[in-house]
Amino acid sequence: MNYFNFGCKTIVIDLKNEISKKGSVAWKSQLCISLKKEFQNIIHDVVYSFSEITIFFKQKPSSFETKKIILWIKEFALKKQNIIRSSWEIPVCFDHIFSEDLLNHNKGNLLAFDLYIKEFVKCEFEVHHYGFLPGFFYSTGLPNRLHIPRKMTPVKSVDSGTLAVGDSYVGIYPQLSPGGWNRIGKTYYSFFKRESNPPCFILPGDKIKFNSISLKEYKIEIENFCNLNKIPKSSYFEIIY
């Protein structure tokens, strides 16, 4: 298993061989979670990319510590893994006031707009990774016919809870921010809570279904501030490797 130093307190480990065997977002995510828990006294954080994981240490690791971690990862890859993930049901209002970009994409054609939403809510998405903002999850599973290119010029302000499409990815803006994805709807749930541990309750490998709700229902729920401290409905499923 190849690895290299990236500064004095960071190492990057090549997982190409293991990824070809496992091929799973959930497996990579669970490897990072388990590794951080097992070596919490010396590891600050572990982050995965497409074929690598990057380990951030609290201080410069010794040669012994590095070799111990490499051996642990090799043993983890050989063991049978039973990984628990969640299927989430997220309510979204697709009213035109929240989906201007989708309307523009369809050149104001309401029939095409309605057809897009009808197809979209049939999809099941998988959370692939986090990026851009704390709590902004990138989800895969959008059919090619529903892809919408990112905007050439991002807008300065996108509301928290906005559901958006960027090329093949689907995500929800966790806070007010600039954004270059296409807004197609809005939910009243918050997906990042700094005071919580972990701050993001949705994990890579989780599944997501979006349920359409009316503007009236959205307004009722958004006025109930208790909803901001709740999480959507979910059920568990098991992945065995």
Q: What is the pLDDT of residue 193?
A: 81
Q: What is the pLDDT of residue 20?
A: 54
Q: What pTM was estimated for this model as a whole?
A: 0.86
- 3-state secondary structure string, the chain? CCEEECCCCEEEEECHHHHHHHCCHHHHHHHHHHHHHHCCCCEEEEEECCCEEEEEECCCCCHHHHHHHHHHHHHHHHCCCEEEEEEEEEEEECCHHHCHHHHHHCCCCHHHHHHHHHHHCCCCEEEEEECCCCCCEEEECCCHHHCECCCCCCEEEECCCEEEEEECEEEECCCCEEECCEEEEECCCCCCCCCCCCCCCCCCCCEEEEEEECHHHHHHHHHCHHHHHCCCEEEEEEEEC
Residue 151: pLDDT band (50, 70, 90) is: very high
Q: Which helix (H) or strand (E) holds 219?
A: helix 215-223
Q: What is the pLDDT of residue 195?
A: 79
Whether the per-residue pLDDT at 21 is higher than 60: the answer is: no
> What average pLDDT does this structure show over 156-170?
96
Domains, the chain, in order of start with CATH, read: 3-79 (3.30.1360.40), 85-240 (2.40.100.10)
> What average pLDDT does this structure show over 82-86?
93
> What average pLDDT does this structure show over 199-218?
94
Q: What is the pLDDT of residue 18?
A: 66
